[in-house]
Amino acid sequence: MIASLTPRNVVVAVLLLLLAAVPVYAAVTANAFLVTLFTRVIILGMAASSLNLILGYGGMVSFGHAVYLGIGGYAVGILAQEGVTSGFAQWPVALIVSALFALLVGALSLRTRGVYFIMITLAFAQLLYYFGVGLDRYGADDGLTIRRRSQFADLINLSDRTQFYYLCFALLLATIYLIWRLVNSRFGMVIQGARSNDRRMRAIGFPTFRYRLTAFVIAGAICGLAGALLANHTGFISPATMHWTRSGDLIVMVVLGGMASSFGPLIGAVALLSLEEALPILIRAMAFPVFGDAAVRMAEYWQIVLGPLFLLVVLFARGGIDGLLAGARRG
Amino acid sequence: MKSFLMGTAALAALSTAPAAAQQSVKIGFISTFSGPTAVIGNDMRNSFELALDHLGRKIGGKPVEVIYEDDQQKPEVGVQKSQKLVESDKVDFVIGYIWSNVLLASLKPVVDSQTFLISANAGPSQIAGEQCSPYFFSTSWQNDQTPQAMGTYMTQKGVKTAFLIGPNYAAGKDMLTGVRTTFKGQVIGEELTKWPDQLDFSTELSKVRAAKPEAVFVFYPGAAGVQFLTQYAQSGLKGQIPLYTAFTVDAITLPLQKDLALGVPGAQEWVNDLPNDANKKFVADFRSKHKNYPSFYGAQSYDAANFVNSAVVAVNGDLTKKDAMRAEMRKANYASVRGPYKYGNNHFPIQNFYLQDVVKDAQGNLTLKTVATIVKDSQDQFHDKCPMKW
Amino acid sequence: MLLFIEQCLNGLQFGLLLFLLAAGLTLVFGIMDLVNLAHGSLYMLGAYFAATFAAWTDSFVIAALLALGATLLVGMALEVVALRRLYGRDHLDHVLGTFGLILFFNELVRIIWGPAGLSLPLPMWLIYPIEILPGLFYPTYRIAIILTALLVALFLYVLVMRTRLGMLIRAGASNREMTGALGVNINLLYTLVFGLGAALAGLAGLMQAPILTVQIGMGENILILAFVVIIIGGIGSIRGAFIAAVLVGLIDTIGRAFLPDVLRLVLSSRGASTVAPAMSSMMIYLLMAIVLVLRPEGLFPVSSK
């Protein structure tokens, strides 16, 4: 990554520094909840980044990506329930099962395009969602409480909030780096080429199906790992994690942050959190001169601004926040 | 979308002064305040607020601050809100929980942080048994107890065959298990429906019609209770096969169920006409403030406030003395609206259960009335599995 | 036997309700190539309007008619103000934009009607059952739903197959450019089609309101089923939507009705009750996945553009 002082690079650098400093700040202000809050942002940023590989770069609009969060989470949860609390067993299972499921879904879905691809990925996600709902032994719809975090002998103690935070942060950065390397290699060139003109790429001689499937599997596996992290973080897993609306959340993070950009998904995850807090304050501030005390109640309905905001982003800022920062950029 | 956005807490948490010295008692109240079951959450909130008013807005002599959180009837939202209450808001007590699945998901973070969790409604069997905790207390009941009372009543009435219907989540399963424990007749059918999505019971009602039981036992809290009774009447089963219920007909659903609920008995540990002073004051003041009768959800929340108050009074406001508070709590030393009761080793009440029926009062309005005491000093069957002894 | 017939009727009723929702969706998708996630919000608005008008007028039928009109207007307004800018764009743009609209409508409903939801009571003449076969009592209201939906299906058939407007719709579905080139006012056509779709969604919403629910977000679960239906049936095909909807309704209901008993042979009763509804839901998605893999255009595809 060429480190030139563009606005976008500055923002990203500052963001990374701030995120790295969160546990320190939290310790100083004795507010441990901050760490909890930002751990979730980081994990979701990791999941969104994995989606970006296939959605942003590959043009594969998967409406079932949250399913891997569920697979990873249930790998940890089910194994913990059965007495296997070692992370050395749980996390590889999370990765492998996610990869296998992605392989299955990808093999069947990647022959379709457009809305059909969206719907078939959705179908598989709902299949797994309902499968989770039917898991009577593991809580079904009520979900599963995870009593102990993944154990890693003496290497790292996940119950320590700070250690867990930095582990997630490290994994996030590793994910972003991995995707950056993939995208800037021949592999990534084929994926992106296939997004804009699949026929041409195949005409040149690239077996695009195989490349896209590989990307799909990698994205699924990374998201599965994020799922294992999320389950450790919340201490709870339920089929709701795999519901199609959660996949929608991930897509929003990617698009809002900026598709086909390294840090876009992370920016998207942070942005959504900030919006949740900033919008009520903004509404209150803007409405107060006109409506006085009623402005506080009005601020409760901040989500009514969020909806049209998405529509506006879609219509006018297709490149997301990252796109806005980098100047005019086609999505 | 909502659960992600609503489930993460404020950045404003940045600058709130943390250990704002114990000058006030902070309570986190978590219930459902959106969706069709928001009426229950509102009833609980109204009752809780009334209790605080009666206490002069003080708990143990200290000013009280209540933070209300909405669990949206979802376990994953409930656990996040519970975490926020104990970690960010640093409350001294967490009270509430309508739904057993939400409570089960939220238990660990609260008790792990050594904060007292008072359930004002949900009573899953797991928490009465293996998962019992010194930091958990119930001011309601254990899920199985109420249907057990109803099962006893059905046996007393000579019912030979019954069909059981309920929602497929922690409490629903507990309810149907509870009836099976005490009902001595034969259960010829059992259906658990998808919760909370499934509101169309036509499939299950068709099965009831085909099975021809002598009676049907049903558990559907909140709006689902209204829909069930409506569909029961629509299918022509009302009047043909009597219904026995738990938590399906209450002060909240009755105005909507109207005449459809006439003659449908329910079992309850509290009915609005119980003749003790605390209850008379509670119901009278609630009615004058809110016009309708409070529900048992409200009664349990009212009790929770007084319950917590008794503990804080006993330690003179020193909230760090958790063991002393617990000792006081175990005595149930407060004026409960259901009358006096005791605690079992698992911190669940040992109490009476009454038969409630729906009648028309002097003004022709539908109201609930205590008809009989079904069982006295009932204790839940899971207390043996709880390792706590005191 | 009677039980089986009754369950089939239940499945048919659910399927027909699904058809009403899917018909509008497939029309809009087929003709304007618009993936409209906010279709479920129109379903929700239909129910809310009906509940409100019923409280004002004390008449279920008048309220239903008013609600239909209101939903039609809202639908057309929505198309003109927001959705027409999405035509021609990537499906992903549609998905995101209309996803934002779901949030908007949910919040708007919360502001206007509050968070708790409403109820729509049935008039007494619709409450009790009638004996449709000796020994088989079936709720009158559900029969009314079945009949109304069948009438609407017939109306749509006549509209699409036998009227000039229908001809334009079919032309627009199979070849948009040519239809526009032939001088048809495409904008007006699109607005009308969208309005029709909205009215159908509103009808579905208000019809299920007395027996099911009127609450925020009620459209989201059933919307996904509607999409499954139109994929199985074939995008743009009303006939396909009809057949697929009835199929899905029957699978779901028969599955929920008889699967638990079948499963009880191998699982515990509790286990069967948990697994059965999940399995019947899974069957529906499995069916869609199979259709997508083997015959992606759907069972009754409209001729390609």
pLDDT band at B20 (very low <50, low <70, confident <90, very high): very low
How far does the CA of residue A161 sit from the closest CA of chain C (Å)? 33
Do residue B231 and residue B362 come from a single domain? Answer: yes
* Mean pLDDT, rounded, for B369-389: 91
Please name the residue that has the structure tokens 């807090």: A277
The answer to whether position C2 is within a domain reads: no
State the Cα–Cα distance between residues A257 and A259, nearest whole angstrom: 7
Quick one: B35 and B88 in the same domain?
Answer: yes
By mean pLDDT, which of A276-290, B163-177, B200-214 is the weakest? A276-290
Q: Is B383 part of any domain?
A: no
Chain B residues interacting with chain A (CB cutoff of 8 angstroms)? 1-6, 8-16, 18-19, 74-76, 79-80, 83-84, 87-88, 100-101, 104-105, 107-109, 168-170, 194-195
Task: State how far the Cα of B30 lies from the Cα of B51, in Å rounded to an integer.
Answer: 16
Range name among B127-136, C102-111, C112-121 with the lowest pLDDT average: C112-121
Q: Which of C146, C136, C280, C158 is nearest to C207 (CA)?
A: C146
Residue C302 lies in a domain: no
Is A252 at the interface with chain B, CB within 8 A?
Answer: yes
Q: By the CB < 8 Å criterion, does C135 face chain B?
A: no
Residue A6: count other Cβ atoms within 10 Å of its Cβ.
13
Cβ of B236 within 8 Å of Cβ of C6? The answer is no
Tell which residue, C235, C237, C251, has the closest CA to residue C284: C251
- The whole-angstrom separation of Cα C284 and Cα C281 is 5
Asked if the structure places residue B348 within a domain, the reply is: no
| Residue at B170 is within a domain | yes
Please indicate whether, in this complex, the C-beta atoms of C96 and A255 are within 8 angstroms of each other: yes
Asked if residue B12 has pLDDT above 50, the reply is: no
- Interface A-B, measured as beta-carbon pairs within 8 A, has a size of 88
Q: Please tell me the distance from the alpha carbon of residue B344 to that of residue B363, in angstroms, as a whole number.
A: 41
Q: Is the pLDDT of residue B97 over 80?
A: yes
CATH number of the structural domain spanning residue B19: 3.40.50.2300
Residues of B in contact with C129 (CB under 8 A): 234-236
Quick check: C289 and A314 CB within 8 A?
no
Asked whether residue B235 is domain-assigned, the answer is: yes
In a domain, B346, yes or no: no
- In this structure, how many other beta carbons lie within 10 angstroms of the beta carbon of residue C235? 26
What are the CA-CA distances from residue C291 to residues A103, A114, A116, B122, B229 (Å)?
A: 19, 16, 11, 44, 39
Residues B245 and B358 in one domain: yes
The boundaries of the domain holding residue C53 are 8-127+138-294
Give me the number of domains chain C comprises: 1
CB contact under 8 A, B35 and C117: yes
pLDDT for B82 equals 94
Res. C197 pLDDT band, cuts 50 70 90:
very high
Residue carrying the six token digits 């790429």: A201
DSSP B185: S
Residues B131 and B6 in one domain: yes
For the segment B317-343, what is each residue's pLDDT rounded down to a tens digit?
889 999 999 999 999 999 999 999 999
Does residue B181 lie within any of the structural domains? yes
| Contact flag A234-B79 (C-beta cutoff 8 Å) | yes
Same domain for B197 and B113? no
Per-domain residue ranges of chain A: 20-260
pTM here is 0.86
d(CA B110, CA A235): 12
Kindly report the number of other CB atoms within 10 A of residue A300's CB atom. 14
* B224 vs B200: CA distance, rounded Å: 9
The pLDDT-based confidence of B1 (bands split at 50, 70, 90) is very low
Contact list, C274 vs chain B (CB under 8 Å): 168, 192
What is the number of domains present in chain B? 2
| Percent of chain A whose pLDDT exceeds 70 | 97
Give the list of residues 6+ apart from residue B122 with CB closer than 8 angstroms, or none. B97, B98, B99, B100, B102, B103, B140, B143, B171
Mean pLDDT value of segment B142-155: 93
Model pLDDT, residue C33: 86
Contact C79, C253 (CB under 8 A): no
Q: In CATH, what number is assigned to the domain containing residue C225?
A: 1.10.3470
Q: Establish if C182 belongs to a structural domain.
A: yes
Chain C interface disruption, residue of B206, B237, B256, B257, most C CBs within 10 A: B206
Asked whether residue B193 falls in the same domain as residue B131, the answer is no
**Residue B369 — left, alpha, or beta (φ > 0 → left; ψ -120 to 50 → alpha)?**
beta
The residue type found at B268 is: Q
Distance of CA B14 to the CA centre of its chain: 35
Would residue B231 count as lying in a domain?
Answer: yes
Residues B302 and B357 in one domain: no
- Cis peptide bond upstream of A265, omega within 30: no
Residue C176 pLDDT exceeds 80? no
Domain that holds residue B155: 145-268+353-378
Check CB contact under 8 Å for A245 and C220. yes
